[in-house]
Amino acid sequence: MIIRLDGGRLYDTGRGSFEQASVTYDSNHGRILAIGQGDLPADHVVPLDGAAILPGFIDMHVHLRDPGLTEKESLASGLQSAAAGGFTQVACMPNTKPPTDTAEIVEDIVRRGRDVGKTQVHPIACITRGQAGEELTDFASLKAAGAVGLSDDGKGVQHGGRMLQAMGIAGELGMPIIIHSEDETLSGRGVLHPEAAKRLGLEGIPVEAEAAMIARDVLLAQATGAHLHVCHVSTEPSVAIIRWAKARGIRVTAEVTPHHLLLDESIIDTDDARFKVNPPLQSERDRAACLEGFLDGTLDIIATDHAPHTAAEKAQGIALAPFGMVGFETAFSLLYTYLVVPGIVPLRRLMEGMTSRPAEIFGLEGGAIYPGGRADLTIVDLTAEEAVDPDRFYSKGRNTPFAGWRVTGLVRRTIQAGRTIFEAGEERLA
When CB distances are held under 5 to 8 angstroms depending on the partner's kind, the choice from Zn ion, ligand DOR, none that residue 323 binds is ligand DOR
| 304 close to 257: Cβ distance less than 8 angstroms | yes
CB 16 within 8 A of CB 315: no
Among positions 74, 278, 333, 337, the unique one binding ligand DOR when judged by CB under 6 A: 278
Cβ proximity to Zn ion: between 172 and 184 the closer is 184
Stretch that binds ligand DOR, among 77-85, 159-167, 257-265, 319-327 (CB under 6 A): 319-327
Span interacting with ligand DOR, options 316-324, 358-366, 394-402, 417-425, rule CB under 6 A = 316-324
321-340 residues in contact with ligand DOR (CB under 6 A) are 322-324
* Least Å from the CB of residue 318 to ligand DOR: 12
Among 95, 234, 337, 378, binds ligand DOR (CB under 6 A): 95
Which entry of 66, 101, 153, 305 is annotated as an active-site residue? Answer: 305
Mind giving me the DSSP string for 284-336? HHHHHHHHHHHHTTSS-EE---B----HHHHTT-TTTSPP-B--TTTHHHHHI
The DSSP bridge pattern shows strands 377-387 and 406-416 to be antiparallel
Q: Which is nearer to ligand DOR, 73 or 376 (CB)?
A: 73
Among 8, 113, 154, 418, binds ligand DOR (CB under 6 A): 154
E-state strands within 156-277? 177-179, 228-230, 252-256
* Among 415, 414, 231, 230, CA closest to 332: 414
**Degrees (nearest 5) of the Cα angle 81, 87, 89?**
110
Site string for Zn ion, 216-245 (x = CB under 5 A): ---------------x--------------
Q: How many CA atoms lie within 13 A of 423 on its CB side?
A: 6
Helices (H) and strands (E) in the chain, counts: 14, 17
CA 94 vs. chain centroid, Å, equals 14
# of chain residues touching Zn ion (CB under 5 A): 3
300-319 binders of Zn ion (CB under 5 A): none
The answer to whether 296 is a known catalytic residue is no
Hey, is 283 helix, strand or coil?
coil
Which C-beta is closer to Zn ion: that of 156 or that of 366? 156
How near is the Cβ of 381 to Zn ion at its closest, in Å?
A: 32
Asked whether the bond before 390 is cis by omega within 30 degrees of 0, the reply is no
Interface with ligand DOR includes 390 (CB under 6 A)? no
Instruction: State which residue, 156 or 373, has the beta carbon closest to Zn ion.
Output: 156
CB of 48 to ligand DOR, least distance (A): 36
Residue in 180, 216, 306, 374 binding Zn ion, rule: CB under 5 A: 180
Contact 101, 107 (CB under 8 A): no
User: Which is it for strands 2-6 and 23-26: parallel, antiparallel or unpaired?
Assistant: antiparallel
Nearer to ligand DOR by Cβ, of 224 and 234: the residue is 234
- Give min distance, CB of 229 to Zn ion, in A: 12
Among 59, 101, 152, 153, binds Zn ion (CB under 5 A): 153
> In the window 60-79, what residues touch ligand DOR (CB under 6 A)?
63
Q: Which is nearer to Zn ion, 10 or 157 (CB)?
A: 157
Alpha-carbon distance of 160 to 198, in angstroms, equals 31
Residue 207: which residues within 8 A CB-CB, separation 6 or more?
Answer: 193, 194, 235, 237, 282, 283, 286
Judged by CB under 6 A, the residue of 61, 118, 143, 180 near ligand DOR is 180
Q: Would you say 210 or 376 has its CB closer to Zn ion?
A: 210
Q: Rounded distance, CA 235 to CA 238, Å?
A: 5
Cα distance between residue 8 and residue 307, in whole Å? 33
Stretch that binds ligand DOR, among 263-271, 317-325, 354-362, 411-419 (CB under 6 A): 317-325
The 3-state DSSP composition of the chain as helix, strand, coil percent (nearest 5) reads 35, 20, 45
Binding site for ligand DOR (CB under 6 A): 63, 95, 153-154, 180, 277-278, 307, 322-324
Binding site for Zn ion (CB under 5 A): 153, 180, 231
Active-site residues, by number, are 305
